[in-house]
């Protein structure tokens, strides 16, 4: 067991890491939300990697996707799996912890240490459940800004993230352009299309149709496991491309023959069931509802990304993947067109990949080359408009 742990630490490069917690908006103060409601006190779980330099100019904020959390790299004591972007964060990696101070925070509305529906409502002593206020991507970013203030960082060298993390990245550049030198939105969009909203509505309905959801008040009884598992199965289908599914599963049978029952005959069926069943052990169903709704509400199209008459000093590297049909390259190209219309320094790269939307998590080599070069030029102050 010790040898296995040592091997994992060597693989993770950063070794053992631990979460930290920032508590703010304590009564009578409160975090004002876009809905008009307020939330407080608010806890943000976060992790940091590397060291902040003397003038605090090397800080990079990493924003996670829908089912992610603050554990982006390294390993937690007693746990086996490294953080969700461990291949990209660490010494010598794309986000080089020998040069940069990396921060990743679990979003509000989440369920991995930050305040969300499963957190205790101080007014009732019970989990918020559906009494938790609706939150938006902008609310998530405003909470992160309080953390950045707490860390004493006036301007971030970069904000980066994929999928919903890319939405947060765009929101940072829109809300606080003077505090972000560079932004790397990956496999994301200025707003959800009707198809993307439709997929999210189907997964929400799958959760809410489970009798164990109990109108959101299931915490004393247990998760609506069947509904949440189905929701995650749907999600996984959208994350992969047709080619990647063919290469990974094709029509291979688990036992070599049909069962003539409603069992998981095909390998792809078994994979989806496994992913759904494992997901319910680590994620809160109500958080899934709230976060998907926040993604659907997100809209920085038109003049919302950069308000008319305002200058955006942030430079951008926008990355998409050719096989990503959930967040297709056309949506990243829309981001770039919007930036170019406002004379913003923006570079766009579409990477060839067969992995679909999951590519931002697994296509490491090309992303590393792009990001390493982009960050180096940003930090050295020699970025040119392209």
- 3-class DSSP state of 59: strand
135-171 confidence digits (pLDDT tens): 999 999 999 999 999 999 999 999 999 999 999 999 9
Exactly one of 13, 118, 163, 174 is catalytic; name it: 163
Written as one string, the DSSP assignment of 145-187 is: HHHHHHTT-SSBSEEEEETHHHHHHHHHHHH-GGGBSEEEEES
Q: Which CATH architecture has domain 197-295?
A: Orthogonal Bundle (1.10)
CATH of 2-190+301-379, one of 3.10.50.40, 3.40.50.970, 2.70.70.10, 3.40.50.1820: 3.40.50.1820
Burial of 358 from C-beta contacts in 10 A (0-12 / 13-18 / 19+): buried
Exactly one of 192, 284, 357, 358 is catalytic; name it: 357
Exactly one of 86, 324, 345, 358 is catalytic; name it: 324
Nearest CA-CA partner of 48 in 93, 124, 10, 102: 102
Domain limits of the chain? Answer: 2-190+301-379, 197-295
Q: pTM of the predicted model, to two decimals?
A: 0.94
What burial letters (b/e) apply to 43-76, b meaning 16+ CB within 10 Å? Answer: bbbbbbbbebeeeeebbbbbbbbbbbbbbbbbbe
Cα(185)–Cα(330) distance, integer angstroms: 14
163 is catalytic: yes
Q: What is the pLDDT along the chain (386 residues), one digit of tens a residue?
A: 334 434 433 444 788 999 999 999 999 999 999 999 999 999 999 999 999 999 999 999 999 999 999 999 999 987 778 999 999 999 999 999 999 999 999 999 999 999 999 999 999 999 999 999 999 999 999 999 999 999 999 999 999 999 999 999 999 999 999 999 999 999 999 999 999 999 999 999 999 999 999 999 999 999 999 999 999 999 999 999 999 999 999 999 999 999 999 999 999 999 999 999 999 999 999 999 999 999 999 999 988 999 777 789 999 999 999 999 999 999 999 999 999 999 999 999 999 999 999 999 999 999 999 999 999 999 988 654 43
Cα(60)–Cα(56) distance, integer angstroms: 10
357 is catalytic: yes
Cα(15)–Cα(90) distance, integer angstroms: 10
351-381 confidence digits (pLDDT tens): 999 999 999 999 999 999 999 999 999 998 8
């Amino acid at each position: 067991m010790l040898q296995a742990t040592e091997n994992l630490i060597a693989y993770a490069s950063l070794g053992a890491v631990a979460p930290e917690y920032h508590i703010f908006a304590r009564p009578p103060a409160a975090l004002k939300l876009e809905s008009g409601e307020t939330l407080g006190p608010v806890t943000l779980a976060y992790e940091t990697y590397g060291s902040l330099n003397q003038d605090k100019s090397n800080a990079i904020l990493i924003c996670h996707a829908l089912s992610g959390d603050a554990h982006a790299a390294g390993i937690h004591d007693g746990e086996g799996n490294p953080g969700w972007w461990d291949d990209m964060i660490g010494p010598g990696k794309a986000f080089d912890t020998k040069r940069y101070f990396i921060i990743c925070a679990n979003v509000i509305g989440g369920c991995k240490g930050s305040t969300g529906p499963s957190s205790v409502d101080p007014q009732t002593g019970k989990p918020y459940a559906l009494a938790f206020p609706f939150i938006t991507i902008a609310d998530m970013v405003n909470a992160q800004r309080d953390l950045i203030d707490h860390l004493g960082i006036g301007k971030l060298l970069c904000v980066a993230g994929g999928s919903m993390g890319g939405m947060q990245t765009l929101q940072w550049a829109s809300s606080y352009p003077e505090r972000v030198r560079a932004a790397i939105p990956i496999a994301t969009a200025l707003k959800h299309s009707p198809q993307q909203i439709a997929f999210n509505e189907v997964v929400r309905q799958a959760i809410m149709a489970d009798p164990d959801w109990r109108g959101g008040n299931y915490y004393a009884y247990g998760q609506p496991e069947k509904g949440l598992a189905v929701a995650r199965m749907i999600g996984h289908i959208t994350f992969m491309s047709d080619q990647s599914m063919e290469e990974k599963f094709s029509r291979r049978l688990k036992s070599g023959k049909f069962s003539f029952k409603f069992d998981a005959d095909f390998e792809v069926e078994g994979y989806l069931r496994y992913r759904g069943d494992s997901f319910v052990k680590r994620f809160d169903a109500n958080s899934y509802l709230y976060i998907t709704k926040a993604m659907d509400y997100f809209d920085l199209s038109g003049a919302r990304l950069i308000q008319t008459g305002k200058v955006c000093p942030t430079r951008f590297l926008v990355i998409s993947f050719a096989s990503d049909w959930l967040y297709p390259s056309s949506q990243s190209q829309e981001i770039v067109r919007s930036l170019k219309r406002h004379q913003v320094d923006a570079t766009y790269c579409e990477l060839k990949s067969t992995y679909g939307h999951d590519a931002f998590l697994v296509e490491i080599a090309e992303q590393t080359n792009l990001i390493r070069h982009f960050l180096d030029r940003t930090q050295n102050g020699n970025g040119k408009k392209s």
